[in-house]
Structure 1
C-alpha cells in the first residue's frame, strides 16, 4: 500500500467510530485516492447511509486519481480474498448488486477478485455511453480471464473513433502501458490509437491537451502534434520550449534543429541558452556555433562562466573552432578583477583548464566565507594537484557545512592515498555531525579490507546514533558479501587477535549470520 499522510491515517482510524459518515465526507474531500481500498468494506455495510457515504467518497477520490494510478489500485483492491465458504455467497451478493449498481460501484467491481464479478461489471461498463469507462476497460484488456479481455477489447475497438479523441488522450498512459503487458499482443491496438490521434480530425483535441495539467498527457500531445497531419511543427516546438515540464523542453530542444530555421531558430536558441536545464543550454550553444557562428562568439564566451561544468566544457569546445583563447588566463582575470558573483565559477573553471602551479591561486580562497567558493576550490585542487593539500581535504571533510564535507569526501575517494586510515579512524571516533560520519564512511572502501573491518567494528561499538549504526551494519554486510566473491587474503598473525577481540566486543550489535561469516574469513 502507498504511505498515507498523517491526516489521512487519522481519518482512516476514525472509520471505526460512530462519526464515520462525517469522516467519510472528509476523506472524500481530501483528494488522497490512496484511501480507496480502505473504504471498500464500508460499501458492503448493512447501514444504507454508510454505503451511500462510502460510495460518494470513493467517487470523489476517483476523480483525483491519475489514469496510470488505477493500475496500482487494481492490484490492491483485489488483494483481499474471502474464505472458501464465504466465496460463493460473496460472489452471488455482488452479482445481484451489480444489476442496479452506480458507475462508481461498477468501476470498482471491475477490479474485483472474482472473475464472475469482473465479467459482469465489464459487460455493464461496455454499455456506458460516455468516456468514464475508458480507463477501467483498458485495465481489463490485460485481465487474466480471456473472456473478460475480449469483452473489454471489443468495446474499446468500437470506440476507436475521432469523436472519442479526448477520452483516448486522457487515458494515453494506460494505452501505452499495454505495451508492457504480456497476456495478449497489444502492439497493433496501441499503434492504431496513436495513428488515430495523429489524424486531422483529432487536431482540436491534441491542441487542447497541450494545456493539460497532467505532464504525461502534455508530453504525448506535443509529440503527437509534431507528427500529426498538417501540423505546424514550428509553432508546437516553440510552445514546448516554454513549457514548465523539463522533459518536454528537453525533447523540444532535440527537435528544434529540424523544425525551425533562420530567425525563428535563432530566437529559440537564445531562449534555450538561459534554460535551467544544462543539457538544453548545451544544445543551444552547439546549434548557435553551427548555424550562427558570428553571433555565437560572445554567447560562448559568456557561457564560460556558466554554473554547470558540462556547459562550460561545451562553450570551450566550440570556442576552439571560432576564437582561440587562453582559458586559464580568462578565469584568472575574472578571479583577480574582483567579480564576486562569478568567483566560484571562475575558480572551478581554472581548476578545469589551469596548470599544476596555479593551484596556489585556488588555495588562497580555501577559507573564503562563501560555501560555493570553498567547494569550487576543493574541486579545482582535486583536478590540478591535490597532493600538497591533503590536510585541507581532511579538514574540509570535518566541515560543519554538509556540501563542503561532501566535496572533500568526493575528492578523497579519488585519491585515497591522501588519507591516513588511522587518522580517519581517530577522527570518526570523536563526536561528529551526521553528515561528516556519512561522508567518512564513504571513504572506507578505498582502504585495505582488514583495516576497513577494524574501523567498522570500532564504530559499531561506540556509535550511539541509530541511523549511523544502520549504515555501519550495511557496510559490514557488504564487506562480508564482497569478500566472499573476491579473495581477501588472511590478516597478519599479530592482527588476528586484535580483530577477534573487536569482533567479539561488537557481537551483540550485529546479525549472527554476518558475525559468523566475518569470523570464518578471519580464521580461513
Structure 2
C-alpha cells in the first residue's frame, strides 16, 4: 500500500476496520440536515415517524444537487446495509436513503434489494422509484413493488397508499402500471381486507379513495355508512353514486338518512336529493331542516318552503317565541337575514345573551329593519364584548346606521354597567367614525374629572391614528384648529402640538 494513502483517507481507513459500525453515523449524517431541527435525531426511527408527503420531500432533497448525504459513503455501503446485523427499522431507513442516491446506477442496485426486506418504508421507497426517470431504476422498482405487495402486511400497504394517490398525477405514471398492478392488487381476491382497512385509515384522502372504489365495485350496503363520515367528499360521492344507480324509493330512504349526516354539506345535498324524488317526505322534513345548525341547510329549506307556498319565517319566529334558557341561534340568524317590523321585540330579547353570535344576529336584524340602537344598548354590547358584535357595531358606525355624537358618548360613560373594558372598546369604536369626525367629537366632548383619563386616552388613540390620510377642507381645518386651541389647557402642550401637526399636514 502506498504510504501516502493513510494521510489522504484517514477517515475511510478508520471506518474500514468496522464497516457495520459506521452505518448509523452515515445515516445520521444523511438525515440530520433534512430534519429542520437543531439537535440530533434518532436516525433509525426518524423516517418511520414522518408522513408520506414528507418522505417524498426528503427523497427530493437527498437527490438535490447540493446534497452532501453520500459524500462519505464508500462503495461497499450497500453491501453492508444488506448483510450487517441491525434492527429492521435501521435497515429500512438505510435502504430508503440508498434508493435516493443521485447516481442512477446506485439507485438501481439499492432498489434491487428492497424486496428482501418488506415493510412500509421499503415499499414507500419502491413506489417513489417506480416513477424514476431512469428506465432501469423504474423497472427494478416496479418489480419490487409487485413483490412486496404480496409479502407486506396490509397495514403497511395502507400506510403508504397516499404515495400511490400522489403518483397518479405524475407524468411517468400515465402508462397504466399503477392502475393495473397496484390498484389491481387492491381489488384482487387475495387482498379482500385491504379496502375495508383503507376505509378506516387515518389519512382522509385514502378513506375517500377507498369509499369511492368500494361503491364503484357495487358495495351499495356502504351507502348509509358513507353518508355518516365526517369528510363531506365521501358523503357527496355516495349521494351522487346513489342517484345514478338506485331506484326512486331506495334513493328517498337514503336521502332521508342523509339529513342526519354530521357534515352540513351532506345534509343540504341530502335534502335536495330528497326533494327531487319524494316531495311529500321533503315537505315533512322541512320543519327540522329550517332549524338546522347550518345556514346552507336552512336557506335551502326556506327555498323549498317558498316553493310550496309556506313562509319559513313562521317557523323561525315560533322557535324564538318558545320559552328557553337560550335563544335558537340558527332561527335568529335566518330571521335576521329577512326581518320585518314585528320581529324587533324578538331581536331585543336576545341582546343580553352571553353568546356573541346571538347578539350579533340580533343587532343585524334591528339594523336591517331600521330600528335605532340607543346608547344603553351600545354600552351594553361594548361591555359584553365579543369580536362578532364589535365588528357589527363598527360596520354600523362606518355606514352611519349608528351615529356617534357627544350625547351617545356621555350616555355610555354615565352608564354604571359599562366598566373599564367597555370604555376601552368605546375608544376603538370611535376610530370607525372617521378621522376628522372623531377629532371633532372628542374636542366637543365635555367630561368631568372622573372621565378625564378616558378622554385623554381617546385623544392619544386618535393621535396614534392621525398618520393616515383623510381629505380635509380649509374651513373644517380652521374649525378644528380653533377647537384644539380652546382646549389647550386640558390637552397639554405635547398633545396640542401633535394635533396641530396632524391638521397642518392635510
Identify the residue that residue 133 of structure 1 maps to in structure 2.
122
For residues 435 and 320 of structure 2, the distance between their equivalents in structure 1, rounded to whole angstroms, comes to 43
Q: In the alignment, which residue of structure 2 is the partner of 1:409?
A: 391
Matched, 1:63 2:48: yes
Displacement after TM superposition at 1:301 (Å) = 1.7
CA distance in 1, matches of 2:125, 2:317: 64
Q: Which residue of 1 aligns with 2:379?
A: 395
Partner of 2:347: 362
Counterpart for residue 49 of structure 1? none
Match of 2:306 in 1: 320
1:221 aligns with 2:193: no
The within-5 A match list for 1:115-514 is: 115-116=102-103, 120-121=106-107, 123-129=109-115, 130=118, 132-139=121-128, 149-158=134-143, 164=149, 170-178=159-167, 185-186=171-172, 188-189=174-175, 192-194=177-179, 196=181, 199=184, 200-201=187-188, 204=192, 205-227=194-216, 231-322=217-308, 324-340=309-325, 343-368=328-353, 373-382=358-367, 384-389=368-373, 391=375, 394-395=378-379, 398-402=382-386, 405-410=387-392, 412-413=394-395, 416=398, 417-419=400-402, 432=421, 440=428, 448=434, 494=478
8 Å CA contact retained: 2:124, 2:160:
yes
Provide the aligned C-alpha RMSD in A.
5.2
Q: As a proportion of its length, which structure holds more helix?
A: 1
Quick check: 1:162–1:196 contact (8 Å CA) kept in 2?
A: no
Q: What per-residue deviation string (whole Å, max 9, x for no partner) do you get for residues 118-154 of structure 1?
A: 75255313431136433234445677xx5xx444422
1:37 pairs, out of 35, 38, 53, with 35
| Contact kept in structure 2, 1:210 and 1:221, CA below 8 Å | yes
Q: TM-score, normalised by structure 2?
A: 0.64
- Counterpart in 2 of 1:103? 92
Q: Deviations over 1:299-326 (max 9, x none)?
A: 112222222222111111112233x223
SS at match of 1:93: coil
Distance in 2 (CA, whole Å) between partners of 1:392 and 1:195 is 72
Of 73, 76, 97, the residue aligned with 2:58 is: 73
| Aligned counterparts of 1:157 and 1:454: Cα–Cα separation in 2 | 77
Shift of 1:371: 5.3
Distance 2:235 2:32 in 1: 31
Instruction: Work out which structure has the larger RCO, using CA pairs closer than 8 Å and 6 or more positions apart in sequence.
Output: 2
Please list the CA deviations of residues 367-409 of structure 1 after superposition, one character each: whole Å capped at 9, or x if unmatched. Answer: 2466554344224324x3255126477436524453xx42341
Q: Which residue of 2 aligns with 1:509?
A: none
| CA distance in 2: counterparts of 1:35 and 1:235, whole angstroms | 49
Counterparts in 2 of 1:257 and 1:388: CA distance versus 1, 3 Å: same
In the alignment, the residues of structure 1 paired with residue 497 and residue 95 of structure 2 have an alpha-carbon distance, to the nearest angstrom, of 62
| Aligned counterparts of 2:169 and 2:439: Cα–Cα separation in 1 | 44
Q: How many residues align?
A: 419
1:273 Cα deviation from its structure 2 partner:
0.9
Cα distance in 2 for residues equivalent to 1:357 and 1:193: 64
- Mapped to 1, the partners of 2:433 and 2:240 lie a distance apart of 44
Alignment check: 8 A CA contact 2:227 2:266 kept: no
Q: How far apart in 2 are the matches of 1:251 and 1:109?
A: 41
- Partner SS, residue 106 of structure 2: helix
1:380–1:41 distance in 2 versus 1, CA, 3 Å: closer
Tell me how far apart the structure 2 counterparts of residues 434 and 109 of structure 1 sit (CA, whole Å).
66
Q: TM-score, normalised by structure 1?
A: 0.62
Residue 79 of structure 1 and its aligned partner are, at CA, apart by: 8.5
Q: Contact 1:278/1:310 (CA < 8 Å) preserved in 2?
A: yes
Q: Secondary structure at the match of 1:398?
A: helix
d(CA) in 2 for partners of 1:78, 1:491: 65
